[in-house]
Amino acid sequence: MPRTPRNSSNQPSPHDARVSQILRNAAVAVTLFDPVAAQALLELSDAELGRRLKLALVRVAGLATVLNLDLSSIGDESADRRMEPHSTRRKLTPEFLVAKAKVLRKSDFRAAIGSTDQRLREDVAARRIFSVDIDGEPYFPTFFLVEQIRRKDLAKVVRTLRDLDGWSKWTFFTTPNRALSDLTPLQALLYGDRKQVLRAAAEFAEQ
DSSP the chain: -PPPPPPSSSSPPHHHHHHHHHHHHHHHHHHHH-HHHHHHHHTS-HHHHHHHHHHHHHHHHHHHHHTT--HHHHHHS-HHHHTS-HHHH----HHHHHHTTSEEEHHHHHHHHT--HHHHHHHHHTTSS--EEETTEEEEEGGGG-TTS-HHHHHHHHHHTTT--HHHHHHHHHS-BGGGTTB-HHHHHHTT-HHHHHHHHHHHHH-
Our count of domains for the chain comes to 1
Question: In terms of residue numbers, what domain contains 201?
Answer: 17-206
Can you give the pLDDT of all 207 residues of the chain as single tens digits? 444 445 445 666 776 787 677 677 767 777 777 888 778 877 878 888 777 777 888 888 888 888 887 655 444 444 444 444 444 345 678 999 998 899 999 999 999 999 999 999 999 999 999 999 999 999 999 999 999 999 999 999 999 999 999 999 999 999 999 999 999 999 999 999 999 999 999 999 998
Residue-level pLDDT at 15: 66
Residue 3 in any domain: the answer is: no
Residue 8 in any domain: the answer is: no
Q: What is the pTM of this model?
A: 0.74
Residue 60 in any domain: the answer is: yes
Residue 101 in any domain: the answer is: yes
Residue 86 in any domain: the answer is: yes
Residue 181 in any domain: the answer is: yes
Residue-level pLDDT at 98: 92
